[in-house]
Amino acid sequence: MLDARHFITDAFGGVRPLYETLQRVSDAAPSIDVVSKWYQRDSIPGDGLVLMLCVLEAREGKPVSIGHWCKGDWGCVYLNTKHGSTGQQPNVFD
């Protein structure tokens, strides 16, 4: 599961900097109250997470892994199932 508080703090510097960043890059950016709720609830909805990842990728110039901000037994995503059609552990393309 994503540790939303850690992600918001580490990747963006906190609620206000995240809000200000999203306001600069999107006409449909959430309000400061919405971003604050994400932090309080430790949960980011899918559309917000996608926007945030796009911002990070633009900043870094490459795709961003969220594994660093995951918590719990899952890591973020771990597939422990039968082998895919290639005979290897499944991946997103199997």
What pLDDT is stored for residue 65 in this prediction? 87
What pLDDT is stored for residue 11 in this prediction? 96
Domain annotation covers residue 84: no
What pLDDT is stored for residue 22 in this prediction? 96
The answer, yes or no, to whether residue 73 has pLDDT greater than 70, is: no
User: Which tokens is 67 given?
Assistant: 């594994």
Residue carrying structure tokens 């059609």: 85
What pLDDT is stored for residue 23 in this prediction? 96
**CA–CA dist 86, 8 (Å, integer):** 37
Domain annotation covers residue 76: no
Q: Do residues 90 and 81 make contact, with C-beta atoms less than 8 angstroms apart?
A: yes
First-to-last C-alpha distance (Å) of the chain: 23
The model's pLDDT over 4-47, given as tens digits with 9 standing for 90+, comes to 999 999 999 999 999 999 999 999 899 999 999 999 999 999 99
Domain annotation covers residue 43: yes
Q: Do residues 11 and 44 make contact, with C-beta atoms less than 8 angstroms apart?
A: no
Q: Domain range spanning residue 11?
A: 4-69
